[in-house]
Chain A
Amino acid sequence: GQNIDQPTEMTATEGAIVQINCTYQTSGFNGLFWYQQHAGEAPTFLSYNVLDGLEEKGRFSSFLSRSKGYSYLLLKELQMKDSASYLCAVRDHSSASKIIFGSGTRLSIRP
């Protein structure tokens, strides 16, 4: 089976940096995703990591350590619009490559 853990809620200040951690346990690993989801909307893709290391994409970066079963999403220069839920998701190694989501981290940005 799979188990994905991330903090339930975080708060940060506009203009600052925040790191959202995700740990996972899976019987077969084939990549880790980060998604952003605003209330009432579908998730939007942020990043995908399958190899160890840091992937940078603008203000957002994602890091993966497969040996530790650990990932983080780093958000820089926070803006009020970054207030959302951030979902960590793991893809398994089956033929279907299904994607299982963590419970999500609700990030609140204060001025």
Chain B
Amino acid sequence: GAVVSQHPSWVICKSGTSVKIECRSLDFQATTMFWYRQFPKQSLMLMATSNEGSKATYEQGVEKDKFLINHASLTLSTLTVTSAHPEDSSFYICSAKENTEAFFGQGTRLTVV
């Protein structure tokens, strides 16, 4: 199947700082990528849909000024968690759609201290 690479796989940051997470489709072009957040023992919650060359579409309740999404090319989308707080600590996962399947990155475990 297609490969989606997400970086970093884990990050620890101080409260108030910003963290950027990258999601790359390595062997296909993805006009649309999705960002999910997953808290322990819970399912994936869709945060936003990232569209190449245009603004992301955010789900209800997700602050667009806090979770900045940039999809500058057909193979790269980035999620920046700005002014991170401990409650932002979570597992963040991106996915990219190729034809009928959706492939996931490895996920990024963010810990804000």
Residues of A within 8 A of B (CB): 31, 33, 40-45, 48, 50, 87, 91, 96-104
Contacts and interface: CB of A to CB of B under 8 A. Distances in A.
A45 B102 contact: yes
Contact of A96 (B51, B95, B100, B103): B51
A98 B95 CA distance: 10
A98 B49 contact: yes
Interface residues of B, number: 26
Interface of B: 1, 6, 32, 34, 36, 42-46, 49, 51, 57, 91, 93, 95, 97, 100-107, 109
Contacts of B43: 87, 101-104
B8 to A, nearest CB: 14
> What secondary structure prevails in chain B residues at the interface with A?
strand
Given A48-B100, A87-B44, A91-B102, 15 more contacts: A40-B109, A42-B6, A42-B105, A42-B107, A45-B1, A87-B43, A96-B49, A96-B51, A96-B57, A99-B34, A99-B102, A100-B46, A101-B43, A101-B45, A101-B46
A52 to B, nearest CB: 16
Contacts, number: 51
Contact of A43 (B6, B42, B44, B46): B44
Q: 10 smallest A-B Cβ distances: which pairs?
A: A42-B104, A42-B107, A101-B44, A96-B49, A104-B43, A103-B43, A101-B43, A42-B106, A98-B49, A42-B93
Contacts of B1: 45
Contact of B101 (A48, A87, A96, A104): A48
Nearest to A104: B43
B42 to A, nearest CB: 7
